[in-house]
Amino acid sequence: MASAKTSLNRRSFLKTSALAGGGLMLSFSWLVGCKPSPEQAHSLPDEWFDLNGFIKIGNNGLVTIMSPNPEGGQNIKTAFPMIVADELDVDWKNVVVEQAPLDTEKYTRQFIGGSQAIRQGWKSLRMAGATARYVLKEAAAKAWGVPSGEITTEAGVIYHKASGKQAGYGEMAAAAVSIPVPEEVALKAQKDFKIIGTSRKNVDAKKIVTGQPLFGIDHKKEGMLIAMVVHPPAFGLKLKSVDDSAARAMPGIVDVFPIKNMQDDYQRQFFDTCAFTELVAVVGKSTWEVMNARKALKVEWEPFSDYSETRDNGTRLFPAGLESTEGHREHMAKKTGKTVNVLRKDGDPEKAFQNAAKVIERTYTAPFLAHNCMEPMNFFADVTADGATLVGPLQKPEFTEKTVSARLGIPLEKIDIQMTRLGGGFGRRSYAHWMVEAAVISDKVKAPVKLVYSREDDMTSGIYRPTYQAIYRAALDAENNLIGFHVNGGGIPESCIYANRFPAGAVDNYLAEDWVLDSNITTGSFRAPRSNFIAAAEQSFLDEVAEAAGKDPIDFRLELLERAKNTPVGDNNDYDAERYAGVLQLAKEKSNWGEKKAGVHRGVSAYFCHNSYAANVLDLVFENGNARVEKVTCAIDCGIVVNPDTATNLAEGATVDGVGTAMFGAFTFKDGVPEKTNFDKYRMIRTKEAPKVIDVHFVKNDIDPTGMGEPAYPPVFAALANALYQATGKRLYDQPFAPALEELSRSRI
């Protein structure tokens, strides 16, 4: 049996009472977070007992489990409590889930990103459940005067079989509060899991389908004002002057003023990316009035000069100038002639290419992308002399809290951050400059304020997936063995290369290089950063190399993985070749790879990122001349799957997102001005373009859970590209694919 060191804070072992709202800390006054649903066996208890930061047990046995991390659709608000409840050994139907506020003393790692929430939370969540179960058992042993070793539990009931004594958790909760926490607790064996590994419905689903307030944009407070900001229309410009006379005179307008969301001398942290630091704020009584007044503002902008910014992850130059997509492309094409950083070199790649019987070289590109979360950026702030209350959707509360603290000079302990459900995150809500803006505005107008971005603000305010380019070269010998592999890749303003990923480790002569180009366009994490491009390039290229070698694309990859498993080149390879091969084999089997169906064109792809493995077989058909994805078979190895149905939902979503982004995703600039401003110009995948069937399979193993939010996404792009090649005979190297496909179908008519 596994065990875990306990690290719960003694301070949190407090008895709280429901009447005093004890510890319920609801983010919304009107959100009855703790009302049991009619299906639940219990009514509200008279008293709650806080067993640790995660668990409160009511005197009647109802259990409240806190979910510490923000929920953005990845469904951890269900999965986290499932893990706790399993170790606690309670009946899921008696569990109520509550979103915890930011509390760095009680919880660790209260943020989401990098598909790490479940992976990193796995031990502490289990420990929380097991510790609570331990103190309940000890309390019973003491009360009954029996050895605690003879006590068992089942579904929220404590038993002493020998004496026939039994008690519900609720009856022992009061006594359990004063039981000391052990140094170590025993954890369940995987075979004893009752909740983990079973599908449980999203705990917020009922609220979602009935339109109850859950999102930041829904938050309200008496006397609250609405604020919007105006930012420069182009990257490369900054605020020069504002004439707000007309805007001020508009109905419902309370104030108009320039704001600075970050001071010039502020030492930024990693997530403090912010394109525009000087903005104009318009504050009024209602959204529509503020939107109208914004149009009446006369703002002058001026070019900024080169500047650089130092953060904990290095210094970045922001060159002056108005950049265009065209220029970015040319710049990347030229730059690749110059090698900048050699990241990894195995063997003698130069010689391998000289001796090759066949050399294949291909260049892949992808544009900037906007995250386009459906809920536009927004935040509520109420800054008073006593401190700041900040309510809204964000991914990294504990980081941005520090930014607000520095900006307003409010100590951290006087900042209360409450996390609402995120209407999508995808990385965008890691960069919460809008929370700072809301706080600065509230501080200035001395009133509670909700800052709302319009869709246009959201799309044009910076934080994009970088634009990338990668050149791949492969050397084959006369027997079609892959003897040399070379990747040279980079991006604006970030690199796209992971030097130690497959096929590194599977080729004797290997070279990975990268470079970056400066830009004044701000970028940030976007679902599976880097992987979302490099997987597309690498897996499309391997398809072409397999073809040149006359091999089946799955067999070709499996051969390389076999090599990487048995006699790996180098010792830095950051993937497990066996698990990697495992998902390919599973996808092969489940898709009946090799079976030919008339009119169905198939592509395969696989990738490893965020500690998980995913492979896709994608079936493409043509309907009325249009390409349509008929089916995608996904095989995923993310270790133990906590909640299979919602993990399946995530994989389906990642697949739809991958197809959509590969086909249509592009964010472009002309003279610094974003050319995409709303969904009329930025094409999003819609239901007619979505795959018809997505068949998701998980590898069954007993490995601790790894990432799920991102890994299913990167392989989709190349599976689509490879299927499109089978269908059209044309390889697509530049994303998005839709323009080339449209041209192709025009030329066929």
Partner 1 sequence: MAVFNLSVNGKKQQVDVDPATPMLWVLRDHLNLVGTKFGCGIAQCGACTIHLDGTAIRSCQMPVSAVADKAITTIEGLSEEGDHPVQKAWLEHDVPQCGYCQAGQIMTASALLASNPNPSDDEIEAAMNGNICRCGTYLRIKAAVKTAAANA
Check binding of 376 to ligand FES (CB under 6 A).
no
Binding mask 35-74 for ligand FES (x = CB under 6 A): --------------------------------------x-
User: In this complex, which beta carbon is closest to ligand FES, that of residue 246 or of residue 374?
Assistant: 374
Report the nearest approach of ligand FES to the CB of residue 605 (Å).
25
Check binding of 29 to partner 1 (CB under 8 A).
no
User: In this complex, which beta carbon is closest to ligand FES, that of residue 272 or of residue 652?
Assistant: 652
- Dist CA 476 CA 498 (whole Å): 23
426 binds, among partner 1, ligand FES, none (CB under 5 to 8 A by kind): partner 1
Report the nearest approach of ligand FES to the CB of residue 460 (Å).
17
- Strands 693-698 and 314-318, sheet pairing: unpaired
* 384, two tokens: 């008073």
694 binds, among partner 1, ligand FES, none (CB under 5 to 8 A by kind): partner 1
Environment class of residue 434 by beta-carbon count within 10 Å: exposed (0-12), middle (13-18) or buried (19+)? buried
652 binds, among ligand FES, partner 1, none (CB under 5 to 8 A by kind): partner 1
What's the full length of the chain, in residues? Answer: 749
Report the nearest approach of partner 1 to the CB of residue 527 (Å).
11
Check binding of 342 to ligand FES (CB under 6 A).
no
The residue range among 13-21, 68-76, 346-354, 518-526 that interacts with partner 1, by the rule CB under 8 A, is 68-76
- Dist CA 96 CA 87 (whole Å): 16
Q: How big is the site for ligand FES, counted in residues (CB under 6 A)?
A: 3
Is 709 in a helix, a strand, or coil? coil
**Smallest Cα–Cα separation from 395: which of 117, 33, 31?**
117
The residue range among 160-168, 229-237, 396-404, 421-429 that interacts with partner 1, by the rule CB under 8 A, is 421-429
* 50, two tokens: 């806080």
Amino acid letter at 252?
Answer: G
Check binding of 463 to partner 1 (CB under 8 A).
no
- The single residue among 374, 456, 589, 730 that binds ligand FES, judged by CB under 6 A, is 374
Report the nearest approach of ligand FES to the CB of residue 242 (Å).
28
- Dist CA 695 CA 119 (whole Å): 24
Torsion angle (degrees, nearest 10) of CA 119, 120, 123, 128: -120
Angle between helices 397-408 and 433-445 (to 10 degrees): 40
- The single residue among 83, 449, 694, 724 that binds partner 1, judged by CB under 8 A, is 694
Report the nearest approach of ligand FES to the CB of residue 73 (Å).
5
Amino acid letter at 335?
Answer: K
Amino acid letter at 544?
Answer: E
* 191, two tokens: 């075979």
Distances (CA, A) of 211 to 26, 151, 238, 458, 650: 18, 45, 40, 23, 22
Instruction: Determine contact, residues 323/672, Cβ cutoff 8 Å.
Output: yes
Instruction: Determine contact, residues 276/462, Cβ cutoff 8 Å.
Output: yes
β-partners of residue 669 are: 674
Check binding of 425 to ligand FES (CB under 6 A).
no
User: In this complex, which beta carbon is closest to ligand FES, that of residue 33 or of residue 424?
Assistant: 424
Structural element, H or E, at residue 532: helix 531-548
Tracing tokens 């002493």 back to the chain, one arrives at 160
The residue range among 142-150, 415-423, 566-574, 734-742 that interacts with partner 1, by the rule CB under 8 A, is 415-423
328 binds, among partner 1, ligand FES, none (CB under 5 to 8 A by kind): none
Residues that bind partner 1 (CB under 8 A): 72-75, 201-202, 204-206, 208-215, 217-218, 220, 226, 251, 286-289, 292, 372-376, 421-426, 452, 454-455, 645-646, 649-650, 652-657, 660, 678-680, 684-688, 690-694
Which positions lie near ligand FES, rule CB under 6 A?
A: 73, 374, 424
